[in-house]
Amino acid sequence: MHSDDMLRAVSRTFALSIERLPGGLRDFVTTAYLLFRVSDCLEDNETLAAPHKANLLRMWARVLDDAMPVSSLTGEILHLDDADPEVYVAKHAGQLLEGLRRFPQPIQEIITSHVNETSLGMARWQENGPDVRTEEEMDDYMHQVAGRVGYMLTDLFAWYSPVIRERKEELLPLSRHFGLALQTVNIIRGLRKDYERGWVYVPRTFYEPLGLTKESLLATENAAKVLRLVDRLADKAETHLRYGLNYITDLPKWLHGIRLACMWPLLFAVRTLAVSRNNINVILSEAKIARSDVSKIIRDTTFLGWSNSWLTSYYNRLHTIQTT
């Protein structure tokens, strides 16, 4: 399977964004995203025990450092079901690394260093266990799995564009917030699924003051309290999302493809927050935005997203529940 097909198999949403990037940059980000998904597979797979996941993630980091052959890793996961697209990607990590080696050396170094650091951060959290005590710990976890992705993208954009290179130091902290924003929304969307596999990424300092415990967190009789908890998480996400909006508006207007690739995940997240508030589905299953919302965001931003004032206004309108 070609890397573009792997990308669409593991995430149609991010495939839409990445495919809007200009030529060479699109290839770099596709490979980088798939390498990050190898790490995600090793962290998320439900059939692997946490200590084994930590070992595999550290093994993957060594592979990225050329300290171990990739076959050592793929041999350890042969038993996983590659009907799961993420498992398929992990089993074809060697193919991805071959593609990576065809890129300019600076690009290879940017991608491998960030995927390496993310993998080691994930390994540490697997050993820490499914207990997040404080907001600072939550932010640390989210930084490992998403904030570092923001750093990597900014490094790649800076390699591509001299103007972004000049703004890199001011963009980097915004890119971390961007990553934390998307991950906070993922935590809201995945509350039920994560809970069923034994993980709660919400800090205890958020839910214990509401009289909730880890064991009773998603009990239907606690629905009113949980929805208050979701509101607090949504408020946190919105704080990070505002920085993400600043990240996009700081990118040059003429780099419309790069801006769109960043714009769509941000606006999808904003819309997801709007439909998550006071929505019992967050507890029962998952709150999702409509396909019509996705299509409209893509269409509107493609034509008008070059304008920062329009984008800011549009961002604000997407917070409403009604169809925009």
Q: Rounded to 5 degrees, what angle do the CA atoms 39, 48, 88 make? A: 50
243-263 confidence digits (pLDDT tens): 999 999 999 999 999 999 999
Q: Give the pLDDT band of residue 324 (cuts 50, 70, 90).
A: very low
273-285 confidence digits (pLDDT tens): 999 988 888 888 8
Separation of alpha carbons 241 and 236, rounded Å: 9
Using the predicted structure, report yes or no on whether residue 7 has a pLDDT greater than 70: yes
Q: Of the ranges 268-277, 286-295, 307-316, which one carries the lowest mean pLDDT score?
A: 286-295
Which tokens hold the place of 302? 């493609």
Using the predicted structure, report yes or no on whether residue 108 has a pLDDT greater than 90: yes
Which numeric CATH code is attached to 130-324?
A: 1.10.600.10
Higher pLDDT, 298 or 322: 298
39-56 confidence digits (pLDDT tens): 999 999 989 999 999 999
Which tokens hold the place of 259? 């801006």
Using the predicted structure, report yes or no on whether residue 141 has a pLDDT greater than 60: yes
Burial profile 223-249: b = 16 or more Cβ within 10 angstroms, e = fewer: eebbbebbeebbebbbebbbbbbbbbb
Please, which residues have CB within 8 angstroms of residue 61's CB and are 6 or more apart in sequence?
116, 119, 120, 123
The overall average pLDDT reported for the chain is 94
**DSSP character at residue 209:** G
187-211 confidence digits (pLDDT tens): 999 999 888 888 899 999 999 999 9
pLDDT at 321: 61
Q: Give the pLDDT band of residue 30 (cuts 50, 70, 90).
A: very high
Using the predicted structure, report yes or no on whether residue 4 has a pLDDT greater than 50: yes
Separation of alpha carbons 13 and 3, rounded Å: 15
Using the predicted structure, report yes or no on whether residue 92 has a pLDDT greater than 70: yes
The single-letter code of the amino acid at 89 is V
Domain ranges of the chain: 1-128, 130-324
The single-letter code of the amino acid at 275 is V
Report whether 187 contacts 202 (CB < 8 A). yes
pLDDT at 323: 43
Q: Which CATH architecture has domain 1-128?
A: Orthogonal Bundle (1.10)
Q: What percent of the chain has pLDDT over 90?
A: 85
pLDDT at 223: 92
Please indicate whether the domains covering 1-128 and 130-324 agree at the CATH topology level.
yes
Which tokens hold the place of 19? 């495919």
The single-letter code of the amino acid at 116 is N
Q: Kindly state the average pLDDT of the residues 91-117.
A: 97
Cross-strand pairs, 131: 200
